[in-house]
């Protein structure tokens, strides 16, 4: 595993700032460190740059449908940019039963007239990406006191704490970071990015994104179904999305 310092120096060699075996000056290393963390921050907003989905649980309080999401918040996890699923667990039966909720778009949430409507269990969820913590709404507002919430969210790699930090990431990330960091640093040193380096940077990102792609279950919107008779529904390829 390479350290952050070694990774920065490898990127500087890619653009000819350092010769083979040469050690970078402290100012160059610091600039590279800052640029690397800037890249990690941007990649946190690219879904296919994220390789892991975490499962986080929290307590759903009766008659409370709103929860903050973020470090130290009601749902104590790094504030997600993306959410894959929101479920709830009913702890009354043995064993516990986990149920999946349906997501609401911004438009759908805005059209709900009775946002304070209650029910024993929620059916839908809506996430507002407020900052520094996100805001999660459950609807209808659950009244049961035996529920736990479950959040499935991609968790991006955190920014690096120090130059001595060892970079331990899945296959493909090491080369991707070096090549893309080199592209990021080139203009600061007045170096032109060669077509070869640019292609390598794009190719390494593509490799990582292919590795991070996950299959999902096929779903069909109810509006895309047309009634064939009183018992069966058919999907119409002419009107489907």
Residue 18 lies in a domain: yes
Shared-domain flag, residues 169 and 78 = no
Q: What CATH number is associated with residue 181?
A: 1.10.3230.20
Q: Are 69 and 151 in contact (CB under 8 A)?
A: yes
Please state the domain count of the chain.
2
Give which of 210, 219, 216 is closest to 241, Cα–Cα.
219
Shared-domain flag, residues 19 and 87 = no
Structural domain that includes position 60: 53-154
Shared-domain flag, residues 131 and 184 = no
Shared-domain flag, residues 109 and 74 = yes
Shared-domain flag, residues 60 and 150 = yes
Shared-domain flag, residues 12 and 84 = no
Shared-domain flag, residues 68 and 148 = yes
Those residues with Cβ within 8 angstroms of residue 72's Cβ, 6 or more apart along the chain or in another chain: none
State the Cα–Cα distance between residues 44 and 230, nearest whole angstrom. Answer: 48
pLDDT at 143: 98
CB neighbours of residue 177 within 10 Å: 25
Shared-domain flag, residues 114 and 178 = no
Shared-domain flag, residues 105 and 144 = yes
Shared-domain flag, residues 61 and 34 = no
Domain end (from 123, 138, 154): 154
Domain end (from 109, 125, 154): 154
Residue 232 lies in a domain: no
Residue 241 lies in a domain: no
Could you report the per-residue pLDDT of 2-33, keeping only the tens digit for each?
999 999 999 999 999 999 989 999 999 999 99
Shared-domain flag, residues 141 and 180 = no
Domain end (from 86, 120, 154): 154
Residue written as token pair 């940019």: 81
Average pLDDT value for residue range 139-145: 98
Shared-domain flag, residues 144 and 98 = yes
Residue 135 lies in a domain: yes
Confidence of residue 187 (pLDDT cuts 50, 70, 90): very high
Confidence of residue 156 (pLDDT cuts 50, 70, 90): very high
Residue 217 lies in a domain: no
Question: Residue 97 above 90 pLDDT?
Answer: yes
Residue 191 lies in a domain: yes
Kindly report the pTM of this predicted structure: 0.85
The pair of structure tokens assigned to 20 is 């083979």
Percentage of residues of the chain with pLDDT beyond 90: 88
Question: Residue 232 above 60 pLDDT?
Answer: no
Confidence of residue 114 (pLDDT cuts 50, 70, 90): very high
Question: Residue 130 above 90 pLDDT?
Answer: yes
Residue 235 lies in a domain: no
pLDDT at 125: 98
Higher pLDDT, 160 or 217: 160
Could you report the per-residue pLDDT of 195-212, keeping only the tens digit for each?
999 999 999 999 999 999
Confidence of residue 1 (pLDDT cuts 50, 70, 90): confident
Residue 35 lies in a domain: yes
State the Cα–Cα distance between residues 22 and 130, nearest whole angstrom. Answer: 45
């Amino acid at each position: 595993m390479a350290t952050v310092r070694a990774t920065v120096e490898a990127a500087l060699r890619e653009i000819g700032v350092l010769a083979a075996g040469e050690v970078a000056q402290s100012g160059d290393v610091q600039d590279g460190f800052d640029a690397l963390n800037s890249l990690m921050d941007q990649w946190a907003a690219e879904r296919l740059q994220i390789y892991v989905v975490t499962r986080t649980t929290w307590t759903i309080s009766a008659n409370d449908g709103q929860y903050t999401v973020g470090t130290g918040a009601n749902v104590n996890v790094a504030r997600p940019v993306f959410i894959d699923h929101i479920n709830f667990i009913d702890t009354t039966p043995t064993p516990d039963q986990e149920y999946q909720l349906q997501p609401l778009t911004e438009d759908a949430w805005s059209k709900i007239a009775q946002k304070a409507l209650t029910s024993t269990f929620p059916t839908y969820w809506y996430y507002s990406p407020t900052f520094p913590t996100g805001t999660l709404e459950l609807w209808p507002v659950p009244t049961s006191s035996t529920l736990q919430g479950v959040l499935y969210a991609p968790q991006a790699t955190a920014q690096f704490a120090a130059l001595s930090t060892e970079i331990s990431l899945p296959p493909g990330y090491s080369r991707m970071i070096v090549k893309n960091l080199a592209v990021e640093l080139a203009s600061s040193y007045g170096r032109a990015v060669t077509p070869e380096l640019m292609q390598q940077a794009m190719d390494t990102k593509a490799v990582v994104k292919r590795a991070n792609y996950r299959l999902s279950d096929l779903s069909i919107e109810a509006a895309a179904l047309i009634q064939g008779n009183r018992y069966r529904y058919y999907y119409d390829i002419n009107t489907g999305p």
